[in-house]
Amino acid sequence: MNTGGEKRALIIGASRGLGYALTAEFLDRGWQVTATERKPSALHELAESAGGRLTVETVDITVPGQVTALHERLGGSRIDLLFVNAGTNYTTDPSATFTDVSTDDFVRVMVTNALSPMRVIETLEDLVPPSGTIGVMSSGQGSVTDNTNGGFEVYRASKSALNQLMRSFAARHTDDPRTLLLMAPGWVKTDLGGPGARLTLEDSVPGVADTIEARAGRGGLHYLDRQNQSVNW
């Protein structure tokens, strides 16, 4: 699908998995994309085939100074979509509970999944115009209401924290006309989701992109799945 537009996206955390696939999807739709990596990745190969529409930047979002430096490099760029994709877990064992995690690992998951994405938004949000969209990759596992089975407890807690922080950001910007999105892509076969996940990247990412595009210009904070349906808080 190619919309033929000149829209610009900044996708943070795009070296692999959902972030990489989302970068490729928006390129296919005719967007100009800046995508970030922490270390050299397949993004550079993707850039070679993107006809100059993909710029790759290096940033570790857990290091605030690197995020500030990225803002300086971007200068006065206009970004129609700022999307932060960040996710880590301390275990791939769904039965592991919060009693199994070390304090250091708990802090690492919370800093990576909740605190750092919001620091990115606070630092870069001035690049997004009133008609633009600011989004983060959340998860259905961040829903407090829908947590009836437990599992992946620290990861769930980090995504719930992310949702709460994004809601606080929205509350502090009540007159902001921009669209704010918390996206739940579903359980996807990635390094984080694992081989037992229900969805492939091809099942999930086009729907995520469709939802982002459909919500552009509508304003407000929305917690949505890949089918553009609301997720329970």
Residue ranges in the chain assigned as alpha helix (H): 17-28, 43-48, 64-74, 103-110, 116-124, 153-171, 201-215
What would the pLDDT profile of 109-121 be if each residue is shown by its tens digit?
A: 999 999 999 999 9
Cα dihedral 65→219→206→29 (10° resolution): -80
Report the alpha-carbon distance of residue 39 to residue 163 in Å, rounded: 27
Determine the pLDDT at residue 2.
39
What would the pLDDT profile of 53-101 be if each residue is shown by its tens digit?
A: 999 999 999 999 999 999 999 988 999 999 999 889 888 787 888 899 9
pLDDT at 43 > cutoff 70: yes
Average pLDDT, the chain: 93
Report the alpha-carbon distance of residue 79 to residue 77 in Å, rounded: 6
Q: Side chain identity at 56, as an amino acid letter?
A: V
* Mean pLDDT confidence for 180-186: 96
Provide CB contacts within 8 A for 99, sequence distance 6+.
none
Any idea which of 65-69, 116-120, 152-156, 208-212 has the lowest mean pLDDT? 152-156
Phi, psi of 105 (to 5 degrees): -70, -40
